[in-house]
Amino acid sequence: MVSYEHSSTINQTTDVVFNFLQDLNNASELIPQTLVRNWQSTQDTCSFEFMLLMNSLQFSMQVVERTPNTKIVLNSLENSFAICSIIANLQSVGNQTVVEFKFETPDETFSGDCPYKLAVQLLLQLLSTNLKSKFK
């Protein structure tokens, strides 16, 4: 299993952050539109092309687990670029929330110099930093 993660502390309570993240329609607010093509979403699914330099990755994800104020798990659907999961782990720290976004895949090619590695790491960073900016 290969995984990458990116965390940030959000100036908002865990219930507010969880309620925002659990609706995948809101995810479009966290990824710059200049890096996305063909965005489609419902509360439980999202599909988009993530553009980075000459590469584009097709993400098709579905929520498979929601643990209130603690965790949201998305698994890839058939037409996604890889078999993967994106997990949002939330931890309450006073009136703030630490959110860790994690990408996991059983595909060991991601552990080397995979061309998709940088794009996935950038996506996690964007989710994390833009969520923090949203709740400043």
Q: Which tokens go with 98?
A: 């630490």
Among candidates 114, 89, 111, which has minimal Cα distance to 5?
89
Domain definitions of the chain by residue range: 2-134
User: Each residue's pLDDT tens digit in the chain (136 positions)?
Assistant: 899 999 999 999 999 999 999 999 999 999 999 999 999 999 999 999 999 877 789 999 999 999 999 999 999 999 999 999 999 999 999 999 999 999 999 988 777 777 788 889 999 999 999 999 999 8
Q: Classify domain 2-134 at the CATH topology level.
A: Alpha-D-Glucose-1,6-Bisphosphate; Chain A, domain 4 (3.30.530)
Looking at the DSSP assignment, which residues form a beta bridge with residue 9? 98
At residue 110's C-alpha, the angle toward residues 18 and 98, to 5°, is 25
Q: Is the dihedral of CA 95, 89, 77, 62 positive or negative?
A: negative
